[in-house]
Structure 1
Amino acid sequence: MPPTGREVLRSRVQELLEKNPVMVFSKSYCPYCDRVKELFTSLGKEYFALELDQCDDGSSIQEVLHEMTGQKTVPNVFVNKTHVGGCDKTLQAHQDGTLQKLLDNNSVTYDYDLIVIGGGSGGLACSKEASALGKKVMVLDFVVPTPMGSSWGLGGTCVNVGCIPKKLMHQAALLGQALKDSRKFGWEYDEQVKHNWETMRDNIQNYIGSLNWGYRVALRDKNVRYENAYGEFVEPHKIKATNKRGKESFFTGEKFVIATGERPRYLNIPGDKEYCITSFFYDEDYILTCRCDYINVPTTVFTPMEYGCCGYSEEKAIEIFGEETLEVYHTLFWPLGMPYPGGDNNTCFAKIICNKLDNDRVIGFHVLGPNAGEITQGFGAAMKCGLTKEKLDETIGIHPTCAETFTTMEVTKSSGGDITQKGC
């Protein structure tokens, strides 16, 4: 496909940065632009200024610069392909000495401004953002095969062997259970129903393959170079990249981000490597986020009867706050329609843990039932906002739903009251 107009403009900007050590995107009537030009003149440094108000496509170039740097205004200054900023930031860089370092002709040059080792969600997000800010970026991603010889494509654990295939297999299990339950609702069928593991596996792998390809296209569109190679540091700013055929290449970078994630650990018992399907189930966003609230992390176990939680377990809450400061509300319940009307009303479970010394704030949330993940995500946001038992009681529940259970909880664990349910 021919490049789009925006891609042509981005290439033009990159070409200007490659050719001109000091590049000023300017407007001829702007006094702030004049101050920056006067600064470089006083330093005896040649610069090239592109006057956007005198270019037919100047406004479009300014939009591209905004996408690349996050800066809407001029002057927009680059030194040796490094984005300095506008007038104030350029003057500040001159005062603190960073501008002179950038202008130093003897400064070391590298193949890439940033090399990211690891092509999971964190590495991909980092590399694309850096490229959008005008950096020259490379991503290395290589999956060491498992003991069974399995490997996978770009996207990391979550996409290839974690969250995505896990949820799709979970859906397959739910469909199987729904087939059984459908008879209770009057559905009749004579054909023998059976499950084909190979069909499920192939369709899931095809879907994941489409995601892998999409990530590669996204990197290409962002001008990020991707290498399916194993990275090893050989010098502080130099790495060796070895591809699956054993070919070695060497690259230098000014900065590096290591986003290699984790691998599952085997149980070291007979058959673990031969018969177990392993994965490292975690949410990469939480692990990669440097101000993360590690207490209120919504978590779900995707079994046919899902379990979701957020905040403290009852045991941990007692250990930290003391049993006398807590009030635990709990109840059994059964969602209407599963598996059939008139069934057992006491298979699912809900519990909240409240801190009596903090306005009965909910510090622990637990639910066992269908769609627990969807329920827990919403309550996780509420807990971040300081959810209290009073606010739950004031909330009108949607009937009939599983989540409404949390708006009508009355029985405390300390009371020893009956938590079984007789109906909806």
Structure 2
Amino acid sequence: MDETVPERPASASPTDGDADAARRTVEAVWRIEAGRLIAGLARVTGDLGTAEEMAQDALVVALEQWPSRGVPPNPAGWLMTTAKNRAIDAARRRSTYQRKLAEVGRDLDDRTADTEVEDALDDVGDDLLRLVFTACHPVLSVESRVALTLRCLGGLSTAEIARGFLVSEATMGQRISRAKKTLTDRKVVFALPDPDERAARLDSVLEVVYLIFNEGYAATGGTEWYRTELCSEALRLARVLAGLVEDDPEVLGFVALLELQAARIPARTAADGSPVLLDEQDRQRWDRTLVRRGIAALDRAQVLASEPGTDRALGPYAVQAEIAACHARARSYEETDWHRIAALYTVLRAQWPSPVVEVNRAVAVGMADGPERGLAVLDAIASTPALRGYPQLPAVRGHLLALAGRADAAVASYEQAAELTRNAAERAAYERKAAGLRTG
């Protein structure tokens, strides 16, 4: 049933370079098309795990055939056709299909069965959106939602996801397997939730993509300052979501936030690879294309939120996008509109109460009204249990103490931040700050 391409003549056998290029093509097409393949198959099979297995089968066939036979003219179509054939074979064997034949009291030939399944797969419609909501179903833990989303929508391998989140491949594989089994055992239907449930489920989807981006942007451990592949994957998923959930102000605000944050990545490391914190970044190295896209998405979100009859207002992601836009519009760290950022953090605190929001607000207050005012904000939350072991708390304190001219205390705070972080690059950044203060 697999679609193939004609064999090459013996005199035209592929070189090692051809085979490597074909394998790279398979990987690239898979990364782009995995979500669509799995989504279409899941609607037909009714089971996410089975759908992923069929899509993986198509990938294996491509890895076997393309390096020796050449890349087909339409690689994405080839993968879809091969996956369809797997679905058709499975549909023929399904007892539910046989019961359907008995109920209607007539036989259908294979051609009719093939056509029915192909029609179902061709009508992708909201399949990707169904896949998003299924992978982020609340019956799963947040960790499982993240893993399953990257696996099914992102097309990442288990090894890639494990590297991104600093766990073993075996641990991540078990997490993904348990997630799929949970969906099957709990009989989670591959369908869009009811309108009343959709808003809450959409929040779960945004949370998952947000966690993926945050782990990429500021890795919690390891030696890398950030993980570009996770940031890129989260940004791609956010854009896909914005295309599926039309005219939702908060989703557009979410996309704007990720675009504007990702724009800073080129300036977050120096020429020697050492980390560069926000106050020292060369803003000319920020990606202006991403900045423009982010601000455009934010502008659109604000217009939609102001229209009469809108049932979803700007939420915490859009507010964070406005904060990021303030940074993007400023020519330097010092020239940033800190008063507006401090006000926006006050709004964000009301929408999304969190001591981490207060830590960030302390920076804005310190820049707008003086470092002592910012330190007062930190003092008010310093004993919060959730901030115990949080390296950014002493790092912000060190920043504000340095602005206040209290170099010795600032050094001690940066050293404390360096001890607390599990990320080697972040540790180096704090140690460099402390060393700079020691030498004046």
Is the helix fraction higher in 1 or 2? Answer: 2
**Same structural fold, with TM-score higher than 0.5 when normalized by the shorter chain:** no
Question: Which of the pair has more CA radius of gyration?
Answer: 1
> Would you tell me which structure has more strand in proportion to its own residues?
1
What TM-score results when the alignment is normalised by the length of structure 1? 0.31
TM-score by length of 2: 0.31
